Structure 1
């Protein structure tokens, strides 16, 4: 009999955990034909929560020790660390990644499993049909992010795709061969390849609680994604440098010719200072791009663990 592991990263999700567990159990119980030869288990990841999330895991583990397991970090390491920990510790023949807030509908699990088993796919991902209920400014920046990263990266990322997916053991093992510290899972899932299809679903509200992703956190996450999967920003910085070098050469030639032909001095200190400030700003911008890449290299060379486990059951 094959097994299916459900990886569920959590950060301050105390109100949603029991609701999530009961909902998934009901979905599996209502489709005995699909799951008749599948044993399932849960691997919850406590990403340094400050509420009673860990106690909720302990209660479920005590009640269902055979199917509920958890890993608790020593502090908050971020969602990517939680996903990495889940993939490294999951033992199922099939591995699903889900959010605990039920915005990833568990009702899709039977269909995802059927597609992998009957149509020989290695991965079934999910994507939202729309972003109903989301602030317009957030939706605009999300669309812009996907447009930018798919322009600058060789790895194409499906717009509105979720981390929610079901994968075969072969694909999970391939992902685990990527040891990098700086991770962007959506990009990694696509980078390893394998035969993948996507299911669409309508956007749904959280089952309880509030999102822990601020606009600024999402913006930083998008910058990290672009840096992790493209060197185009470095090329842009190089082109900007070449452009301004060319402009400066033309300006110098113009000033020299003007002096030789007309003999008048160059005036306009205010405009000169403005140009210097502008060029200085462009230089700092380009240095910031380079510094971002150097910072990533610095973190990689430290060889620090992605997370530290404090408790495990």
Structure 2
């Protein structure tokens, strides 16, 4: 019997877990099992150090369906990227899907995704939102700006509005697991490994329960991780800014000297000097900050710390 492994990261999602399981099982029973009876479901729920009753819900669900439901519980919150990696490590299916537990990733797309792999012979069938209905305007603006920016500066193209929700073959997952980097940006990694990929668009869905745990600052930080992990262009931009600032400073000094010789300088050059110092100092700090981001990530990679620590799994 072949398997479809469903990887489900969970962080404080006690209300969503049973609803998610019921929704996916319904799609499996009514559509997937009818068309592909040789496939059975395998669930891997990853508890990312939740502080509510998420772990208890997972244990209850695993007791109810011991044959198909499995879980890994982290010793603390390591983040969604670590949870995805843990799920990929534990999944044993020939087909592996990544889904959010809040049902913003519609399970109804799974049969179409399976058809894309089993009948159209794609290696990855991903999903993307065709609209951002219900999302704050400012968040939508910065999201679109991020995809536009990273695709201009990176050699790895990331599909605009792509979700982590995707179905992959075992070969793709093995390739992803061969990249055990500590600083992970899965959207970029899934694109970087290549393979024949198809995207399915769908309208935005609201969460089935609870509230999002991604704040605007979290999303900004996540975007910066993606840019730094998949492009060295910010370092080149920092060098370019340094050169431009140096040239501007030379012209500014020539202007100040000529003005002083012709008109005199009753303030003895203090305002112009401070302006130049502040400009150069700000640019230097900005460039050092960019460099520090890269050095910091290299520092974490060199430590060889585990991506996650499992407290309990079944």
Do Structure 1 and Structure 2 share a fold, with TM-score over 0.5? yes
Alpha-carbon distance in 1 for matches of 2:258, 2:161: 56
Alpha-carbon distance in 1 for matches of 2:198, 2:22: 27
Contact 1:34 1:114 in 2 (8 A): no
The TM-score with structure 2 as length reference comes to 0.96
Alpha-carbon distance in 2 for matches of 1:34, 1:182: 39
Alignment correspondent of 1:185: 186
Unaligned runs of 5+ in 2: none
- What's the secondary structure of 1:126's corresponding residue? strand
Alignment correspondent of 1:26: 26
Tell me the number of residue pairs that the alignment of Structure 1 and Structure 2 aligns: 312
Unaligned runs of 5+ in 1: none
Q: Determine if the alignment matches structure 1 residue 196 to structure 2 residue 197.
A: yes
Which residues in structure 2 correspond to 1:135-214 (within 5 Å)? 135-214=136-215
Contact 2:256 2:272 in 1 (8 A): no
Alignment correspondent of 1:289: 290
Write the deviation string for residues 53-104 of structure 1: whole angstroms up to 9, x where unpaired.
0011101111111100000000000000000100111111000000000000
Alpha-carbon distance in 2 for matches of 1:234, 1:54: 43
Alpha-carbon distance in 2 for matches of 1:274, 1:244: 12
Alignment correspondent of 1:14: 14
Alignment correspondent of 2:306: 305
- What's the secondary structure of 2:128's corresponding residue? strand
Deviating more after overlay: 3-12 vs 30-39? 30-39
Contact 2:8 2:101 in 1 (8 A): yes
Contact 1:180 1:300 in 2 (8 A): yes
Contact 1:101 1:208 in 2 (8 A): yes
Contact 2:249 2:276 in 1 (8 A): no
Q: Determine if the alignment matches structure 1 residue 271 to structure 2 residue 241.
A: no
**C-alpha displacement of 1:10:** 0.3
Alpha-carbon distance in 1 for matches of 2:80, 2:253: 52
**C-alpha displacement of 1:253:** 4.9
Alpha-carbon distance in 2 for matches of 1:141, 1:209: 24
Alignment RMSD:
1.6
Alpha-carbon distance in 2 for matches of 1:120, 1:27: 22
**C-alpha displacement of 1:255:** 5.7
Which residues in structure 2 correspond to 1:78-93 (within 5 Å)? 78-93=79-94
Deviating more after overlay: 289-298 vs 24-33? 24-33
Alpha-carbon distance in 2 for matches of 1:125, 1:88: 20
Q: Determine if the alignment matches structure 1 residue 2 to structure 2 residue 6.
A: no
Alpha-carbon distance in 1 for matches of 2:97, 2:264: 74
- What's the secondary structure of 2:183's corresponding residue? coil
Alignment correspondent of 1:131: 132
Write the deviation string for residues 231-258 of structure 1: whole angstroms up to 9, x where unpaired.
1100000001111222333444556677
The TM-score with structure 1 as length reference comes to 0.96
